[in-house]
Structure 1
Amino acid sequence: MATASSFAAMFISSAIAACFAEVCTIPLDTAKVRLQLQKKTAAGSAVTGGMLGTMKSIAREEGVAALWKGIVPGLHRQCLYGGLRIGLYEPVKALFVFVGDAALLNKILAALTTGIIAIVIANPTDLVKVRLQADGKATAVKRHYSGALNAYATIIRQEGIGALWTGLGPNMARNALINAAELASYDQFKQMFLNLPGFSDNVYTHLLAGLGAGIFAVCIGSPVDVVKSRMMGDSTYRSTIDCFVKTLKNDGPAAFYKGFIANFCRVGSWNVIMFLTLEQDDVQSAQHDSVE
């Protein structure tokens, strides 16, 4: 059973690793959000330039720094969401294991649970991040927030404090699914690799397991990720179902995988960076404890 001190250590290590991965990959995330928010034009086709085209367009029209829009609330999010979902994973997983080792189902249930708990707390940071990323020259609805703190204050003043939890439904679904896909599959991939000849608990194994976790996460979570981004970026949707139905009706089923390449590049690289950083923190902590 995890102790309070071990939870605190894992929370801090997870938050640091998640923040480092966020800084490295947020340009991909900004491109993903812009692509997900694109809708069909009057001519019947969506205006898109793909991941690289979107990034080039943002850099050319708004400046390179615009690719890091939302980094401040992004770091807020990773401190809360990243720290909680990973820090709580082992103790929650232990609660689902009654006899023997943790099975895949136990890992999935634990990751679903920690993903929901973490995003309920962190949803306001996610909302502000998406709105800052979405606010560009070509965006239909411009909010012109001057920064993260101004965005929090403006949303509360103009829309009420409850508006900070806009899109919570699809965000819970998205993060529960992605958290399960990431943590459970990383845990399972790592265990599988370690049982194979020639593999050991090293950087190569962590890299492969992290990449596998990223592939699972983006394939499973993309549809709810699109709905989440659209609800947070466009306040005209009345509910999750309304957003889903209108997206399907107006843009077709393929719209739920808009920004897939950007999402895959972002989530895959994010997982590799985050898990490699986290594993190295664990190694250093273990070495420190052995010296003491």
Structure 2
Amino acid sequence: MPDLDSGAQISFSQAFLCSAFAACLAELCTVPLDTAKVRLQLQKKAAFGDGTGIPKYRGLLGTIKTIAREEGLSALWKGTIPGLHRQFLYGGLRIGLYDPVKTFLVGSAFVEEIPLYQMILAAMLTGALAIMVANPTDLVKVRLQSEGQLSMGVPRRYSGAMDAYFTIMRQEGFGALWTGLGPNIARNAIINAAELASYDQVKRTVLTIPGFTDNVFTHLLASLGAGLFAVFFGSPLDVVKSRMMGDSTFKNTLDCFLKTLFNEGFLAFYKGFFPNFARVGLWNVVMFLTLEQAKKSFRGPL
């Protein structure tokens, strides 16, 4: 039984609203973890703290404490507004389109279980399409989250989300809002495939175990599995995306990838892995549990 196929019983507009609402709620719950993840990803060996070689940010909790101590608790929620912009557009599209695209790929007359490779392809397509629309919101979110990296006394570049959009357009050009689009498309196609297809597959597998039913506990297990797969496959691209969006000195995606690889080693692509999993795991739990309940409310009693 494909788990998200139940969304086919509601219209696309309803599926979009359910997905956007669930994604925005999950975003609100995980912004501090995402801020910590971005700071860890942007941290480079040559730019540690006071030049003593000791990193300024160390671990998830250490990074959160450092940000709160130096910049105040509110700094942990920097990027919330563009984050919500992003989740409304990106979350609504990538999840809302997933079932229609699966149906398109296999044909409306298909009645068997959808093969895993078709689910992966559908999720990759919707992830890529959605981020092409939502990339400016992702860029502004990362820029605002990286403001704390600036040295003491250096004026902040943006006063808020809307100011960031207009400042980037004015100073760097309209096309600059799509900075990092290449790695972002690759990242979100892969993560969306790992997330949605694995959620489908894990839920389908769990439901074959005697005693398990389509309930909240099953959704919890499937969402944690989806989060783990998404972080494992998406972390390298996530690091490149964050660095390109937070640092305009890189020429292109390949330049960012090679400089990170040769200067810091392969493990640099998994910087912030545990805070990323903590964030993505929690994000997936909140999002999928909310999504399942929201869709049920539209479908009504079965």
TM-score bucket (shorter structure): over 0.9
Q: 1:91 deviation in Å?
A: 0.5
Q: Secondary structure at the match of 1:48?
A: coil
Counterpart of 2:87 (choices 78, 101, 106) is 78
Structure 2 unmatched ranges of 5 or more: none
Q: What residue is the counterpart of 1:58 in the other structure?
A: 67
Deviation at 1:284, TM superposition (A): 2.0
Displacement of 1:95 in angstroms is 1.4
Residue 205 of structure 2 corresponds to residue 196 of structure 1? no
Q: Name the count of aligned residue pairs.
A: 289
Whether the aligned pair in 1 keeps the contact of 2:202 and 2:225 (CA below 8 Å) is yes
> 91-100 vs 169-178, which deviates more?
91-100
2:136 paired with 1:131: no
1:28-75 per-position Cα deviation (integer Å, ceiling 9, x unaligned): 000000000000136666543111111001001111011000000000
Structure 2 residue 134 is matched with structure 1 residue 122:
yes
Distance 2:288 2:281 in 1: 11
CA deviations 1:186-229 (Å, max 9, x no partner) are 01111111111111010000000000000000000000000000
Partner of 2:184 in structure 1? 171
**Which residue of the other structure, out of 223, 230, 237, is the alignment partner of 1:217?**
230
**Cα distance in structure 2, aligned partners of 1:270 and 1:142:** 33
What one-letter code is carried by the residue in structure 2 that aligns with 1:94? Answer: T
**Normalization by structure 2: what TM-score?**
0.91
Contiguous gaps of at least 5 residues in structure 1: none
Q: Which residue of 2 is the match for residue 37 of structure 1?
A: 42
Deviation string for 1:98-139 (max 9, x for gaps)?
443310000000000000000000000000000000001556
Question: What amino acid is aligned across from residue 29 of structure 1 in structure 2?
Answer: D
Partner of 1:182: 195
1:18 to 19, 23, 31: 23
Q: Is the 8 A contact 2:180 2:245 kept in 1?
A: yes
CA contact (8 A) 1:61 1:137 kept: no
Q: Are 1:135 and 1:142, in contact at CA under 8 Å, matched by a contact in 2?
A: no
Output the CA distance in 2 between the equivalents of 1:19 and 1:3: 22
Q: TM-score, normalised by structure 1?
A: 0.94
Aligned position for 2:172: 159
Deviation at 1:5? 6.5
- Compute the RMSD of aligned alpha carbons: 1.9
